[in-house]
Amino acid sequence: MPDEPQRSDVLTDEEWELFQAHIHRFPKAEVCPVCDSTVWSVTGLEMGTPVVDDGVHTGGVQVVTLICKTCFYVRRFAWLGIKREAAAAAMTGGRRG
């Protein structure tokens, strides 16, 4: 079984639970594609790549970042998607589409 990612103090308890539920739905996300390690640290919420629409900067996408503790590969997950997924599951009694 893969190791749990090292929790960041930046995430609240609720955010951590949402992220853990999301990541456990995708077993391949727990394995580093470079070195096959399952030991990750989590940076917490941060702004990712800025979004530009027709040459106008419209902000950025908030992400949760995992960093492989063995080879330092970086993997990011869009936080808005995780929150929307959790809200949809709550509205459907936990069923996910």
Domain contains 26: yes
Domain contains 65: yes
Rg from Cα positions in the chain: 15
What is the dihedral angle through the alpha carbons of 22, 34, 6, 69, rounded to the nearest 10 degrees? -170
Domain contains 4: no
Q: How far apart are the first and last CA of the chain?
A: 26
The model's pTM is 0.69
Domain contains 73: yes
pLDDT digits (tens, 9 = 90+) for 55-76: 666 667 788 888 999 999 999 8
Identity of the amino acid at 58: T
Domain contains 42: yes
- The per-residue pLDDT for 42 is 86
pLDDT digits (tens, 9 = 90+) for 79-95: 888 888 888 888 886 55
Number of folded domains that form the chain: 1
- CA–CA gap between residue 45 and residue 42 (Å, rounded): 9
- Asked if residue 52 has pLDDT above 80, the reply is no
Domain contains 49: yes
Boundaries of domain holding 21? 13-80
Report which of residues 96 and 17 the model is more confident about: 17
Which token pair is 4? 């749990």
- The per-residue pLDDT for 74 is 93
